[in-house]
Amino acid sequence: MGDRTAFRTCPLCEALCGLELTLDGAGVVKRVRGDRNDPFSKGFICPKGATLGSLDGDPDRLTEALVLDGDAAPAAGSRPPAHIPAGWDGAFEIVRRELTRLIAEHGKDSVAVYIGNPTAHSVAGPLYAGAIVKALGTRNFYTASTADQMPKHVSCGHMFGDPLAIPVPDLDRTDHLLMLGANPLESNGSLCSAPDFPGRLKAIQARGGKVTVVDPRRTRTAALADEHLFIRPGTDAYLLIALVHTLFAEDLATTAEHLAGRVNGLDDLRALAVDFPPERVASVTGIPAAVIRRTARELAAAGRAAVYGRIGTCTQAYGTLNSWLVDVLNVLTGNLDRPGGAMFPRPAHAPVYRRKRPFTTGRWRSRVRGLPEVNGELPVATLADEIETPGEGRIRALITIGGNPVLSAPNGERLDRALAGLDFMVSVDPYLNETTRHAHVILPPPRPAQTPHYDLALLGLAVRNYARYSPPIVPPADGRPSEAELLARLAMITSGAGSDPAALDEMIIRTTLEKATALEASPVHGREPDELRKMLDTGTLTEQRLDMMLRLGPYGDGFGADPSGLTLTRLRTEHAHGVDLGALDPRLDEVLCTTSGRVELCPPTFAADVDRLHSALADTAPTGLVLIGRRHLRSNNSWLHNVPELVRGSNTCTLQLNPADAARLGIAAGDTVRVVSRTGAVEAVAEPTDTVMAGVVSLPHGWGHDRPGTRTGVAAKHAGVNVNAVTDEMRIDPLSGNAVFNGVPVTLEPL
């Protein structure tokens, strides 16, 4: 058989690029290019997408269920544990037996769930992970969100009523972008899905607009920008509130016509900002007062402007305040919900029914540190506490799905030791890595080419309304469960309702259709659920569920109500390269669901947290070095270091520091340096560079692949060190529980 071409969405990052793959007769991916016919990505591709074939064909990828040989869990650093193949049924039987036993002996909360980043990129994750947590009934639910964007959910939850109503900068129509703590030239964008983000930034400049970047490093994005402001790590909230101050003080805050009468809390906000004139925050942020004032004026003067803050602003002690103030600026400059400003996408799979329950946090608290629940989750920063601390309610078992918290959670080394002490652990993961080596059972999903794709979690964050479905391009191997089947089976086991994964989908389809037909606002109001059930796509249950969501969605066919509307079949056959559903349009009314029915500009919990800003401002000026992270284009958190093409070139785990600091400490390029913090120490090779501001050092995360018991041969040869050995699990943003990765106090010891 000769070569063939297939198309699909890249599953690796938030940019959602369309790919064109060339496969040989045996189904091996030989070449990957950008799909020029994708209306959104138009052929754009990055080095990760281009090497998807190597990832897909990685010989270290697990192909069968593994179980730990013998009873003992591996102790960190001791005898390498041995994982041996087991049949799928045998592996699931061990999971059933152990979870049932532990729940009977120690209660529901003794089983915890941790869900990692790739789960937000898979179609199976959003469809089934929630069902597992629900079936378990555990309050010990953790995700990578509390190491990432949880502050944004909290700010949007309080401001707009819905933690998922996250406005994105309307990149293609804005004339002015103020971007803080984001480096899309390396990351390709986050909470803002925009294939060819670099090209879209250049287009802003080409049409006469301005891009300003605020970052403690002169990143590639900062270098491309028209202006770069170096900022001291962790101080964005001061800059942002001083911008708010300036807008009020200079009478630049507008209540644009379209927002008139739809915003609460303007006076409270003005009163809060009074104490933060630019002069007061200049020394703490490192940004001159005159520059802050000018930045505020430019923002107000720009016709269409957007403020966008990403991970650098979230993973700090003031993560929620930052996320809130970013959108406050969008409101005050009249740019929320208008073209060229910050807008709410309208994804094809989400019905436009409004959330009813007002947003709240702290419905329960973590057992050991008393940290509030947020979005149904507890902070990953306290997972080790809950495993290690004896007493009623202690975590005895853990389910991980697509996560590597040993490398991604704050003080991951402590978590590494804690995992070794669990009674039972099961991981749904394609690799035997730093985290899954502790699992008693590993259930690997099939390779990307055998996996369907639809971005349930990300299409609601795209800068154009767009949809694309990618069926598997290589048929699944005989008898090998898809990730959807793995997760559905786990949910069935934990609910005690048998082991037939199809039963779960049938139940979800039935309840969704019953709800939709009962709802007056729905296009299928008054119809028979049974009739609709029979109309669904004839594919897998995953495809039937997607079909149902699309047909009930804003562009859907409403099960025949609008014969030209979207169905999964149509998406698959008529739009194999994806379908453009238009530029973002104003839809604040559709998303707004605060109790007041207005945008809450000054929620009381946020106003109260501004006290923290006050007291810290009174402190003496910061001294000593602080650590921040960085991302490289050829990486993706912890798990692409096993692809040979990606661990070359600039993708290295070095310690960047300012030449002035290096000279002061007697450190030369290439020296090995010990980085010491409250929690631990790591050794890394020094790379002096003036792209990092004085007083700041930077190490990328996701490295540290030199542990026994893992099976990632390439990564082990490029091990690097785990920066999260020195980040501190005790430092969190109190409102969201989010980990603080930026601004960690460290000392350096030249070796």
Ligand X SMILES: Nc1nc2c(c(=O)[nH]1)N[C@H]1C(S)=C(S)[C@@H](COP(=O)(O)OP(=O)(O)OC[C@H]3O[C@@H](n4cnc5c(=O)[nH]c(N)nc54)[C@H](O)[C@@H]3O)O[C@H]1N2
DSSP 160-199: HS-TT---EE-TTT-SEEEEES--HHHH--SSSB-TTHHH
Burial class (CB in 10 A: 0-12, 13-18, 19+), 172: middle
Residue choice 6, 7, 12, 312 for contact with ligand SF4 (CB under 6 A): 12
Strands 210-214 and 176-180, bridge-based pairing: parallel
With CB under 5 to 8 Å by kind, the binding choice for 15 among Mo ion, ligand X, ligand SF4, none is ligand SF4
116 binds, among ligand SF4, ligand X, Mo ion, none (CB under 5 to 8 A by kind): ligand X
Q: Determine which helix (DSSP H) or strand (DSSP E) holds 341, and give its type and residue range.
A: none
Residues 257-316 that bind ligand X (CB under 6 A): 310-313, 315-316
Per-residue mark of binding to ligand X, 464-493 (x: CB under 6 A): -------------------x----------
Alpha-carbon span 259 to 240, nearest angstrom? 21
CB within 8 A of 96, min separation 6: which ones?
493, 499
Residue 14 contacts Mo ion per CB under 5 A = no
Q: Is 345 in the site for ligand X (CB under 6 A)?
A: no
The number of residues that bind ligand X (CB under 6 A) is 64
CB of 148 to ligand SF4, least distance (A): 16
DSSP 480-499: PPPHHHHHHHHHHHHHTS-S
Q: Helix, strand, coil % (nearest 5) of the chain?
A: 35, 15, 45
Dihedrals phi, psi of 214, to nearest 5 degrees = -115, 115
Q: Which of 146, 155, 174, 188 binds ligand X (CB under 6 A)?
A: 188
Burial of 288 (0-12, 13-18, 19+ CB in 10 A): middle
Of these, 147, 300, 473, 546, which contacts ligand X (CB under 6 A)?
147
Distance of CA 572 to the CA centre of its chain: 27
- Sites for ligand X among residues 115-144 (CB under 6 A): 116-118, 122, 144
DSSP characters over 595-612? TTSSEESS-HHHHHHHHH
Binding residue (CB under 6 A) for ligand X from 468, 701, 705, 707: 701
Kindly state the smallest distance separating residue 657's Cβ from Mo ion, in Å.
25
Q: Kindly state the number of chain residues that form the binding site for ligand SF4, as judged by CB under 6 A.
A: 12
Write the CA distances from 657 to 234, 328, 566, integer angstroms.
Answer: 17, 34, 52
- Give residues 523-562 in contact with Mo ion (rule: CB under 5 A): none
Q: Which stretch binds ligand X (CB under 6 A): 247-255, 288-296, 325-333, 720-728?
A: 720-728
According to CB under 6 A, which one of 6, 7, 8, 13 is a site residue for ligand SF4? 13
429 close to 125: Cβ distance less than 8 angstroms: no
Our CB check for ligand X shows the closer of 186 and 377 to be: 186
Q: Which is nearer to Mo ion, 117 or 427 (CB)?
A: 117
19-58: contacts with ligand SF4 (CB under 6 A): 45-46, 48-49
CA angle 592, 595, 599 (to 5 degrees): 45
Q: Binding to ligand SF4 (CB under 6 A): which residues in 692-751? A: none
- By CB under 6 A, the residues from 152 to 191 that bind ligand SF4 are 188
CB of 553 to ligand X, least distance (A): 25
Distance of alpha carbon 627 from alpha carbon 606, whole angstroms: 26
Per DSSP, 381 falls in state G
198 binds ligand SF4 per the rule CB under 6 A:
no
Q: Is 17 in the site for ligand SF4 (CB under 6 A)?
A: yes
Nearer to ligand SF4, 195 or 341 (CB): 195
Interacting residues with ligand X between 725 and 744 (CB under 6 A) = 727, 741-743
> Binding to ligand SF4 by residue 62, rule CB under 6 A?
no
> 325: which residues sit within 8 A by CB, 6+ positions away?
237, 240, 241, 243, 244
Binding status of residue 120 toward ligand SF4 by CB under 6 A: no
Using CB under 6 A as the binding rule, the residues of this chain from 387 to 416 that contact ligand X are: 401-405, 408
The verdict on 349 binding ligand X (CB under 6 A) reads: no
Select 318 or 344, whichever has its Cβ closest to ligand X.
318
Classify the phi-psi angles of 560: left when phi > 0, otherwise alpha if psi is within -120 to 50, otherwise beta.
Answer: left
Name the token pair of 749.
């010891």
Among Mo ion, ligand X, ligand SF4, none, what binds residue 729 when CB lies within 5 to 8 Å by partner kind?
Answer: none
Quote the least distance from Cβ 376 to ligand SF4, whole Å.
28
Number of H helices, E strands in the chain: 26, 28
Structure tokens at 346: 């309208």
Neighbour count for residue 437 (Cβ, 10 Å): 27
Burial class (CB in 10 A: 0-12, 13-18, 19+), 50: middle
The 24-63 contact track toward ligand X, x by CB under 6 A, reads ----------------------------------------
User: Of residues 335, 637, 677, 710, which one binds ligand X by CB under 6 A?
Assistant: 637
- Tell me which of ligand SF4, Mo ion, ligand X, none is bound by residue 431, counting a contact when its beta carbon lies within the kind-specific cut-off of 5 to 8 angstroms: ligand X
* Residues forming beta bridges with residue 424, ordered by sequence position: 397
| Number of shown-chain residues binding Mo ion (CB under 5 A) | 1
Minimum CB distance to ligand SF4, residue 196 (Å): 8
Nearest approach in angstroms of CB 236 to Mo ion is 18
Q: Is 594 in the site for ligand X (CB under 6 A)?
A: no
d(CA 304, CA 413): 46
Q: Which residues of 221-259 are buried (b: 16+ CB within 10 A; e: fewer)?
A: bbebbeebbbbbbbbbbbbbbbbbbbbbbeebbeebeeb
Residue choice 35, 56, 148, 236 for contact with Mo ion (CB under 5 A): 148
Nearer to Mo ion, 148 or 170 (CB): 148
* C-beta of residue 414 within 8 angstroms of C-beta of residue 384: yes
Q: Using CB under 6 A, list all residues that contact ligand SF4.
A: 10, 12-13, 15-17, 45-46, 48-49, 188, 195
Q: Using CB under 5 A, list all residues that contact Mo ion.
A: 148
Q: Using CB under 6 A, list all residues that contact ligand X.
A: 13, 116-118, 122, 144, 147-148, 180-184, 186-188, 190, 214-217, 219, 231, 233-234, 236, 310-313, 315-316, 401-405, 408, 428-431, 433, 445, 483, 628-633, 635-639, 701-702, 723-724, 727, 741-743
